[in-house]
Amino acid sequence: MSHKAGFVSLIGKPNAGKSTLMNALVGEKMSIITPKAQTTRHRIIGIVNDENHQIVFSDTPGIIKPKYTLQESMMNFVEDSLVDADLILFVTDIHERYDEQDVLEKLRKASSPVAVLINKVDLSNEEEVKQKIKFWEETLNPDAVFPMSALLGFNVQTILEYIKEKLPEHPPYYDKEELTDRTMRFFVSEIIREKIFMLYDKEIPYSTEVGVVSYKEEPNITRISAEIYVERDSQKNIIIGKGGEMIKKVGTYARKDIEEFIGNKVFLELYVKVVPDWRTKKNILKRFGYDN
């Protein structure tokens, strides 16, 4: 059977329940990666793999009315990810106040199919749900409308099947093995890398790699030790920063994100190592534990 793969953009207001939905859709297979900013407009928040499918879920910043420039650039980002998506899931709250005109304009112009997910129907009744479905069908004329409860898992499976049906035929975008077998370590190293991309300029992020050396789960805390590899001493000094303040920042931001993801306290140790030309040496990558 041929393989299907594609990008699915989740859009909706910040409190519409996107992250709960994400967790329900991706379940235990959750793996989160943030590709380098230059290579993609998507902020990837989860990937679902099975034998014949790879669904790459990407998030857009919560839809907001642009009040100042930063928000305008966020809205441009939203527009870009609508252009690139193979499928758009518009997540809306059953008790939505309908103040989403700016978004609706964009959705009407989108060339990809749009499905409206009416979330939190567990807080509602049948009559209201019917009215809402009718409202969205008339307002947007979407490809599909699904009432759902991300919290209770209601209709989640149906939505997954719908997504798979809509995906184009395409080989996987990301290595399936890598994502399923080493999710936790892989995820942690990607979070640390993301912080390096955020905090350092220019070529620094591209000359670094992150390897998780140890990952120990204890009842009340998860102890993680990771190494940041660079190619030159000068890069090591930049990564560490004056009096160690830069590496501290990386550690603090990364720890917060990791704690949020695994739902446990984290003790994170970061070391910086200089390995000349690590990028070209397969055996070095092996020794760093990239293939275990």
- Residue ranges of the binding site for GTP: 12-19, 59-63, 119-122
Binding-site residues, in ranges, read 12-19, 59-63, 119-122
Q: How many Å apart are CA 56 and CA 30, to the nearest integer?
A: 11
What is the torsional sign of CA 60, 80, 206, 235? Answer: negative
Q: How many Å apart are CA 148 and CA 153, to the nearest integer?
A: 8
Report strand pairing: 43-50 vs 53-59: antiparallel
Q: How many Å apart are CA 36 and CA 205, to the nearest integer?
A: 9
Contacts of 271 (CB under 8 A, 6+ apart): 213, 225, 226, 227, 228
Axis-axis angle for helices 245-262, 183-199 (nearest 10): 140
